[in-house]
Structure formats: C-alpha cells, structure tokens
Amino acid sequence: MNVIGLTGGIGSGKTTVAGCFARQGAAIVDTDEISRSLTGAGGASLPALRGAFGDRYFRGDGALDRDAMRSAVFEDPNARARLEAVLHPAIRAAADSALESARGPYAIVVVPLLFETRGYLDRVSRVLVVDCPEEVQLTRTVERSALAAEAVRAIMAAQWPRWRRLQSADDVVWNGGEMRNLDAQCERLHRFYCTIPPKLRRHP
C-alpha cells in the first residue's frame, strides 16, 4: 500500500488531521504515540534511557519526565544526540512493524520532524504537510500544554520554517480555519490517495 508521511510544525494540528483520515478508513501510525509508549511507565526504552541519563529525568512511576528531558535536549546538543541514539531506532522499528501489519486503502505515518530527521523519507511515497499561521501554532501549543510562549517559540525556531516545509511537500492541508473546511480537504485527499497506485519511496 502507499504510505503517506504526515508532518507539520508544533501546534499545526497533525493529530486532528490524522483523525480525519482515520475516519475515512486510512491506517494511522503515529510516531509520537509510539514514543510515549516507549518512554511511559514500563516502556521498552526506559532501561537504555536510564543508562544514558541516570535517574535525573525519571518520574516516581518510572516513566521518563518528558518535560525535563525536552528542556535538557534544547540546552545541550550532546544530550539531544544521546536521546536520539536511543529513541529514534526504537521508534522507527516499531513504526515499521506497525506499517507491515497495517490494513486499509493506504497508511499514514505521523512524524513531527519528518524533514528535519529525514529518517522516514525512504519509507513514504508522498509527504502531506499540515499548515497554519505561526501565531496559531503558538496559541494552540500554549493552550494545550504547560509550556510558556517563549519555550514554544524556541521549539518552533528549531523546526523547519513554514516556507521550507511547504516547498518540500507533495500535498498540503490548511488547518487555520474551520473544522468543516479541514474535513473537506481530508476527504478530497482521501479520494486521491485511494486512486493512486503504490509508488516508489521518496529518497532522503
């Protein structure tokens, strides 16, 4: 089946868009959900993470303190490299396994840093970017999380800018308006994805 890579900046609405496609029958593989599973209480990556970072970044229930780790990797490139060395291969392996068993007219793999990490471009045939104004990204993220606006801006600055994501996209969904408009866009793309034949993978 075709595998569509879904990406977008923080707060752009990737989960919402993935939900629209799931309602149309697409198989969804969300790498953020995989990451939370690997780093939650009892997660498979916890022993390796504890070995790499010690006990400082773990909660009382044994799960990774994701907020503390997020702060650490933004301040220390070496910490980011250690985290990625542990998590990225494990997430990719779990995503590959989920895609192999996926059922539906096509699959969508949600990867927030699809372009930045480039680790999934050889697994997808098209890339769908979820787009909205940067101020909307900021407002949504502040409202849904405990992050301050300055922290969200720092995350946005570390990601590809909108223009670069849009320039590299095969398809774009605009998520800066009303939900009914989003649904209509997803329905149109769903019909398109159902008709195109499986393609060769994109290359990094």
Over the chain (204 residues), the average pLDDT of each successive run of 10 is 94 96 97 96 95 92 91 87 94 95 95 90 94 95 90 91 95 91 95 84 51
Question: The dihedral of CA 90, 96, 101, 105: what is its sign?
Answer: positive
pTM equals 0.91
Domain with CATH 3.40.50.300 in the chain: 1-26+104-204
Cβ proximity of 59 and 67 under 8 Å: no
What class does CATH assign to 1-26+104-204?
alpha beta
User: Strands, E, within the chain: which ranges?
Assistant: 3-8, 27-30, 107-110, 126-131, 171-174
At 73 the pLDDT is 86
Q: Give the rounded distance of the alpha carbon of 153 from its chain centre.
A: 18
Q: How far apart are CA 40 and CA 36, in angstroms?
A: 6
